[in-house]
Amino acid sequence: MQFLSIASAWFAVALPAIALMYILKKTYQNTEVASHMLWRKLLKEQEANRPWQKLRSRLLLLLQLLAALIIVIALMEPVISKNVTSIGHAVLVVDRSASMTAISQISAQDGDANKDETNFQLAIRSAISWIEEQPKNRPISIITTGALPETIASRVKDHTLLKRELEALSPHYGYADNTAALSLADSLHHSDAKNGTTVLFTDGKWVDVKEANALTLHRPIEMVKLGKDESTNNGAILSFGIKSDRANADLNQAIVTIRNDGNKEQNYSVEIYANEGEKGSNKVAELSVKAAPGEWQSVQASGLPYADFYKAQLLPTSDGIQTDNVAYQFPTVERARKVLLVTDGNMFLEKALILAGIQPVKMSPESAPPRGGNIDWILLDGVNHSLWADKEWTKLLEAKPLWIIDHPEEGATTSAVPAHSNIEIKDHPVTSYISFQDTHIGRFHLPGIEATSWGEAVITYGEVPAIFAGTIGGNPRLRFTFKLQETDLPLRPEFPVLIVQAAEWMNGSTLQQLGTATAGEWIDIPLLAETATAEWEEVEWLGSGISQENDLLSTNKQLEQNSDHLYEVPPIPGLYRLIERDANKQQLSSRYLSVTANAVELMPALDSDDQLRLSSVASTTDNGNITTEDVGSNKSSKPLVHHSLQLWAALLILIIMSVEWGVYRRGHSS
């Protein structure tokens, strides 16, 4: 039994007041007198009677005290609460927000060791158990939270199908509009005015918690609260930045900020990795930082080698959320690309490469192959067959992007003279803004089909292929079949444009890395004009590890564009590479994107106002109101119906009053 108005208990002060009246009441003895002459003596005795006396057991007193007590209890609005038993339409709302990826330690059954599973996995398991307890013909709908709420099942009576739909769900790492999901769930009960109910599976940690608490729900809601209410032992990388090192312009500096979301001081280790192309990812720094509960601390590392991207990894002793333990960042200033220029001398080519932002490392064909030096690609100005005969040179040439400039010999069988000066140019990144009009080229080299099977002729001069472009083993490759020194091309304005575009092709495009974005959001991505298709390639992903996320990634690889010409970011946090290809499936560019979870979703709720407290004003029945109560970890607050006891209290008071009237009528008080 519960009391809806505890404050009415103050009326209980009437009980000692009634007893006090009996204590102060004067009492008389029944005495037979023979004459009126004795009344004077009795009056004297009455005047001498004391007002205070011992309280005696009297029936009238007990009846009055009992009536007063029942009136006080009735004023306190006593009710008996019972769980609502419903077989009507039920709407399950599953919270998929990023905070649900927190680890909730559950004791395994049947004597197995303890196992760790996320709150999201626990929510799915709890929802399936709830469905198994329902009547087989009960219609059930399922709504999931996300950027927009999604109805994955509507009034389905096949509970096996419902369980399959639940098992296929995965967390949503972007912004989640939970209030919209609750409102949608409440609206689905339009035809179930009496029996409909909503069941919410959540950890209660919502970004829009204030809006949700202010929402008026017209149907009863049962909240299954998952996870622990107290702070978890969680550390997070709050920010990760890369900038040039002041001491050495060729090196970089990293700044990492750590936040301790736990309830005790923690010592953290931060490892920083640099991806240096062919060398792969190598650990270049390891830092230590101490943070008090609820505080953040920054630490920095200097002297980091240049890399395509950097990775910071947090290594706490124990951690509640794994997603925020890794962060990626890219250098703010692109390093000048280094090209190994194997030539006997070509001043125009060297100057044009420098103007294109390329740093040439010049070598003669007779030199031994270089070791190290971080060479990005190779340019052979003239094919020297002795290089291909050398094993070390061959290994280097096959491993790097290669640009070949032929030196055709006069009178050789592999040389050709163009029949005319007609130019045919195909759309390609190398040929943009190039016309070759009025350019004189007297002789070409014919390399053969096998030597150019990796690409196609993008410029044909007088029916003779002039420039081949393509890829081999994923590396860009170019081939000019004419000698620059024997043409007037270096003297024309198109020459530096051609070299810049060729260098961009060899670099895999000079477009900047895509930076950082939140999972599932829509961003503006500048694509190359020649791009026909673009898709995401997974480098590393930071999901919760469930198989459903892997399936989600496999179905979201293609770059999707909306009506606002924005592109969707992959739905799972991690590091991705956007690969652009032309109509011939040739790779045009490759750029990195760091995808993170919604940072606000992963922040702890420190204020009591940030706790989820839902209330409903469901239609009242003849017996009372349906309400909702807060619950603890892994328990559900069942919708309750309150049966008022005031009617029974009034009936009991009437019975007592009738008995009291009988006492008065008989003239007996004890």
CB 125 within 8 A of CB 167: no
Kindly report, residue by residue over 205-226, the tens digit of the pLDDT. 888 888 888 888 877 888 888 8
The answer to whether residues 70 and 118 belong to one domain is: no
The answer to whether residues 287 and 359 belong to one domain is: no
Which CATH number fits the domain that encloses residue 522? Answer: 2.60.40.10
Kindly report, residue by residue over 524-533, the tens digit of the pLDDT. 998 877 788 9
Is residue 94 classed exposed, middle or buried when 0-12, 13-18 and 19+ CB atoms within 10 A define those classes? buried
Phi, psi of 656 (to 5 degrees): -65, -40
The answer to whether residues 110 and 177 belong to one domain is: yes
Of 329, 353, 370, the residue at which a domain comes to its end is: 329
Q: Is residue 284, in this structure, part of any structural domain at all?
A: yes
Report d(CA 465, CA 470) in Å as an integer.
14
Distance of CA 351 to CAs 275, 410, 496, 498, 505, Å?
30, 27, 9, 13, 18
Question: Does residue 106 register a pLDDT over 80?
Answer: no
The answer to whether residues 33 and 96 belong to one domain is: no
Which CATH number fits the domain that encloses residue 132? Answer: 3.40.50.410
Kindly report, residue by residue over 107-125, the tens digit of the pLDDT. 444 444 445 788 899 999 9
Got the DSSP string for 225-236?
E-S-SSPP--EE
The answer to whether residues 354 and 240 belong to one domain is: no
Report d(CA 213, CA 204) in Å as an integer.
11
Q: What is the pLDDT, as a whole number, of residue 621?
A: 33
Of 476, 507, 538, the residue at which a domain comes to its end is: 507
Q: What is the pLDDT, as a whole number, of residue 209?
A: 84
Report d(CA 91, CA 182) in Å as an integer.
10
Q: What is the pLDDT, as a whole number, of residue 623?
A: 32
Q: What is the pLDDT, as a whole number, of residue 193?
A: 52
Q: Is residue 554, in this structure, part of any structural domain at all?
A: yes
The answer to whether residues 140 and 208 belong to one domain is: yes
Q: Is residue 341, in this structure, part of any structural domain at all?
A: yes
pLDDT band at 637 (very low <50, low <70, confident <90, very high): very low
The answer to whether residues 360 and 467 belong to one domain is: yes
CB 524 within 8 A of CB 566: yes
The answer to whether residues 372 and 476 belong to one domain is: yes
The answer to whether residues 105 and 204 belong to one domain is: yes
Q: What is the pLDDT, as a whole number, of residue 517?
A: 92
Q: Is residue 601, in this structure, part of any structural domain at all?
A: no
Classify 135 as helix, strand or coil. coil
| Highest-scoring range by mean pLDDT, 104-118, 142-156, 369-383 | 142-156
Question: Does residue 273 register a pLDDT over 90?
Answer: yes
Report which DSSP code applies to 21.
H
Q: Is the pTM of this model over 0.75?
A: no
The tokens for 563 are: 């009506």
pLDDT band at 52 (very low <50, low <70, confident <90, very high): low
Q: What is the pLDDT, as a whole number, of residue 467?
A: 95
Q: What is the pLDDT, as a whole number, of residue 618?
A: 46
The tokens for 199 are: 């069941």
Q: Could you tell me the end-to-end alpha-carbon distance of the chain, in angstroms, rounded to an integer?
A: 34
Report d(CA 522, CA 541) in Å as an integer.
19
Got the DSSP string for 185-226?
HHHTTTT-TTT-EEEEEE-S--TTHHHHHT--BSS-EEEEE-
Mean pLDDT score of the chain, rounded to an integer?
A: 80
Least confident of 214-228, 345-359, 559-573: 214-228
Question: Does residue 474 register a pLDDT over 50?
Answer: yes
The answer to whether residues 141 and 180 belong to one domain is: yes
Got the DSSP string for 436-460?
-TT--B--EE---TGGGTTEEEEEE
Which CATH number fits the domain that encloses residue 475? Answer: 3.40.50.880
Q: Which of 235, 223, 294 is nearest to 267 (CA)?
A: 235
The tokens for 190 are: 């339009």
The answer to whether residues 470 and 614 belong to one domain is: no
Q: Which of 238, 239, 236, 249 is nearest to 332 (CA)?
A: 249
Pick the more confident residue, 174 or 14. 174
Q: Which of 229, 303, 354 is nearest to 605 (CA)?
A: 229
Q: Residues 6 or more apart from 111 whose CB is under 8 A from it?
A: none
Alpha helices in 531-620 (DSSP H): 547-554
Plot region of 474 (φ>0 → left; ψ -120 to 50 → alpha; else → beta)? left
Got the DSSP string for 56-68?
---HHHHHHHHHH
CB 498 within 8 A of CB 521: no
Phi, psi of 117 (to 5 degrees): -145, 155
Question: Does residue 513 register a pLDDT over 70?
Answer: yes
Alpha helices in 455-516 (DSSP H): 494-507
Q: What is the pLDDT, as a whole number, of residue 626?
A: 33
**How many domains, the chain?**
5
Q: Which domain holds residue 394?
A: 337-507
CB 326 within 8 A of CB 312: yes
The answer to whether residues 106 and 151 belong to one domain is: yes
Q: What is the pLDDT, as a whole number, of residue 315?
A: 86
